[in-house]
């Protein structure tokens, strides 16, 4: 229709936290926070979730009377999906590809820091204490990466380049995968966890992965094994993990995601032995917001031209098919 400009609602966490670089798009944007989303989405054809942790969409679903497309600026879509959206014709796209390398770098850094016992070094430095000791090499160490999508594959690539032996764990098994070599069944994780010096979680949160790392998996891990979670907190049974750390059933953990975020100050994981905690920031490198906005703008141009969108999520599966 000549002169028609589609409306895109943009959900922001704060009024001044708007995506950059969208001014040249022939779209009428309605910027809002969660309180204003119902009004903003009414009559809108598109919705950009710049506040990608929000669960507000389900609360205003009845107001989304013209919605065709939702783009979430995150790799995981677990906070967005609900039954009515899954059953609708609304297309969902995500930020696949933006976070792969930063997350892989974070994991490699975590693996090196654990092998070199950096926590002890920092503690000794704080006490001005000089103590010579030996640490471990990562060359020849083993890493099992749970999640064989783009993020998991980038992690495998970096870890292999650093000299580790890597396997994947996913829904489908393989013996000749180009990135992992062998892929084992994530549904049988307790059978395979004992192989790994580093167990790395990089899968989407779905019904199949929720609570995946439980007491049984933790008991199957090596006594000096290292758990890395850059996926979603609910993939791990936190009570079982805490017990495994306190009893030295495993060697340590690097945790970037948690059941409750922010992690409450009184949470016992803060004081657990051999744990490194970061604030859900493993993918957030300088310039990441610009890249997220540019990715949305490129997809918006496809949408406006009637072309196929990139990064279309299978709403039933909860991720983009191909791997996992």
Q: Give catalytic residue positions.
A: 232, 280
Q: Are 246 and 274 in contact (CB under 8 A)?
A: no
How many whole angstroms separate alpha carbon 166 and alpha carbon 149? 15
- Residues ≥6 apart with Cβ < 8 Å to 98: 75, 283, 288, 291, 292, 295
Q: Scan for tokens 């001044």, then name that residue.
A: 16
For residue 14 the two structure tokens come to 């704060």
Cα angle: 238, vertex 241, 243; to 5 degrees? 110
Q: Partners of 255 in the beta sheet?
A: 229, 277
Cis omega (within 30 of 0) for bond into 119: no
Question: At 236, is the secondary structure helix, strand, or coil?
Answer: strand
Where helices occur in 100-144 by DSSP H, the ranges are 100-115, 118-126
Q: Are 10 and 34 in contact (CB under 8 A)?
A: no
How many whole angstroms separate alpha carbon 296 and alpha carbon 28? 15
């Amino acid at each position: 229709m000549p002169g028609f400009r589609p409306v895109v609602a943009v959900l922001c966490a704060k009024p001044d936290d708007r995506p950059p670089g969208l001014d040249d798009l022939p779209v009428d944007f309605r910027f809002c926070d969660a309180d204003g989303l119902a009004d903003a989405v009414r009559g809108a054809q598109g919705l950009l979730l710049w506040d990608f942790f929000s669960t507000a969409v389900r609360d205003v679903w009845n107001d989304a009377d013209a919605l065709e497309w939702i783009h979430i600026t995150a790799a995981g879509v677990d906070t967005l999906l609900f039954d009515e959206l899954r059953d609708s014709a609304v297309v969902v796209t995500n930020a696949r590809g933006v976070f792969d390398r930063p997350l892989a770098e974070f994991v490699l850094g975590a693996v090196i820091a654990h092998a070199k016992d950096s926590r002890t070094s920092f503690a000794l430095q704080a006490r001005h204490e000089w103590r010579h000791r030996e640490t471990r090499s990562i060359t020849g160490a083993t890493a099992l990466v749970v999640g064989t999508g783009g993020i998991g594959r980038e992690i495998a690539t970096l870890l292999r380049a650093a000299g580790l032996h890597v396997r994947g764990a996913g829904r489908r098994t393989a013996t000749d995968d180009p990135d992992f070599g062998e892929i084992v069944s994530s549904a049988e994780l307790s059978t395979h966890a004992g192989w790994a010096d580093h167990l790395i979680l990089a899968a989407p949160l779905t019904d199949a992965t929720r609570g995946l790392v439980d007491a049984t998996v933790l008991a199957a891990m090596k006594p000096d094994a290292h758990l890395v979670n850059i996926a979603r907190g609910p993939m791990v049974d936190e009570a079982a993990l805490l017990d495994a750390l306190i009893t030295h059933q495993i060697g340590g953990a690097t945790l970037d995601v948690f059941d409750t975020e922010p992690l409450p100050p009184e949470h016992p994981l803060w004081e657990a032995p051999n744990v490194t905690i970061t604030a859900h920031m493993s993918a957030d490198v300088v310039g990441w917001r610009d890249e997220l906005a540019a990715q949305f703008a490129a997809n918006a141009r496809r949408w406006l031209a009637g072309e196929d969108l990139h990064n279309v999520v299978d709403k039933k599966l909860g991720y983009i098919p191909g791997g996992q």
